[in-house]
Structure 1
Amino acid sequence: MQTMMDRTSLKKAVEGNNAALWTGMYADDAEVRVIDQDHPPSKPLVLKGKKAIGAMYDDICARKMKHHLDESVIEGDHLAFAETCTYDNGTKVYFSAMAELKNGKISRQTNIQAWDR
């Protein structure tokens, strides 16, 4: 599924827990860096290519949790958004991302996430 980036599609992907829609928003050669408790800034998790990024979203969307898009901004070739997630057991996750767009697709993205322990 190929989807051009817009706020409506982003909201549908996030709140619909839709891995295919998420994956369709990335360029084939996209790169995502993840910074969190397990992957500090000096050693982030780096996912390269749509296949690796899609596997991440398949995993996330398979979890029993609710996602809420708190805010999003698309300006030119830049995207920023924040999301709050809640697992069925009440554990919360906060997620913030900055991304570069190329031809309407995410080409580079940095995620910063924190969750309850």
Structure 2
Amino acid sequence: MLTAFKAVTGAAIKQAIEGRDARMLSSFYADDAVVRVIDRNNPPSKPREVRGRAAITTFWDDICGRAMTHKVETSIADGERLAFTQDCAYPDGTKVFCIATLELRDGKIVRQTVVQAWDE
């Protein structure tokens, strides 16, 4: 069953991420979207790139399927751009902090950059 189109807003991102709703998150992306992930294992010179909605769906299925909590703290919108911060925690106490920027086209995400830091 497909999730009905919902506009990409800070509130919608918060609802989907905090609810671990991979299907809703995937519905926010254009077919040709790209998600770049920058972290310790994927430095700025060689970020991980997840291309296309099918691969992005797999990406969100993995993240939302993990036993962890997500809290979207701050979101800022400016025209066709949106940014948000996210605090995550695993049951063992490991924490992750993410900041993401989104570029939108026709109400869908076409490019997302995620920078994340993990407890070591």
**Higher mean displacement: 88-97 or 5-14:** 5-14
Alignment-derived partner of residue 107 in structure 2: 104
Equivalent of residue 46 in structure 1, options 46, 49, 65: 49
Q: Give the CA RMSD over aligned residues.
A: 0.8
> So what's the TM-score if we normalise by structure 1?
0.96
Equivalent of residue 59 in structure 2, options 38, 51, 56: 56
Alignment-derived partner of residue 96 in structure 2: 93
Which segments of 5 or more consecutive residues in structure 1 lack a partner in the other structure? none
Give the length in aligned residue pairs: 117
Distance 1:85 1:3 in 2: 24
Matches within 5 A, 1:1-117: 1=3, 2-117=5-120
Query: What is the Cα deviation at residue 14 of structure 1?
Result: 1.1
Distance 2:10 2:66 in 1: 23
Query: What is the Cα deviation at residue 3 of structure 1?
Result: 2.6
